[in-house]
Amino acid sequence: WYFVERKAAFPDLPLPHPAWLKKDFETCVLSGDQECTYTQGVTVEGIGDHRRQSLFFCGHAYECTPFNTIGALERAKFAVESQYAVVGVLEDMNTTLSVFEKYIPRFFEGVREIYQTSAEYLTKINKNNFKPPVSEKVKDIVRHNFTNEIEFYQFCLQRLHKQYLATHIPQKILAP
């Protein structure tokens, strides 16, 4: 989509080679192509580094731009704790919506029922039937290079589950 929009906006710019456009993720990682090389501490120039969530939460500080660094991880964790009531995850949508409903009822009251009535439709339209498999070797390479990003995800997931437990543990009724 990016190249189609760029070509429409700038007709004189050449399109990338078709072989590059048809390259799968596994080939991209194993051949060490720049867009699939995730090197710790490297800053991606140009349109931005959309490979990670910590950048979104970290902000615009200098420490945020290098890839997969402790500084970006710590700033992102601090931002989540200090600026967000809830950070959900798509892989656990029911828990996410349940916590949204409890923590921010003004905007999310009844959201689980709405989601349940749409869930079957949403799972059909958001599925990629042409997704090629990725080998464990390539997954291990990527996991190794995303250590702080994985830690950030696990931090957010753990926080979400703690929030869920806090809102779903029955409160003891104290006798007068």
- The closest of 144, 137, 152, 150 to 25, measured between CA atoms, is 137
Segment 125-148, tens digit of pLDDT: 767 778 889 999 999 999 999 999
Is 69 contained in some domain? yes
Is 149 contained in some domain? yes
d(CA 51, CA 175): 54
Is 175 contained in some domain? no
Is 23 contained in some domain? no
Domain count for the chain, please give it: 1
Is 5 contained in some domain? no
Structure tokens at 14: 């050449």
Is 76 contained in some domain? yes
Q: What was the pLDDT predicted at 36?
A: 87
pTM comes to 0.81
Containing domain of residue 159, as a range?
Answer: 38-168
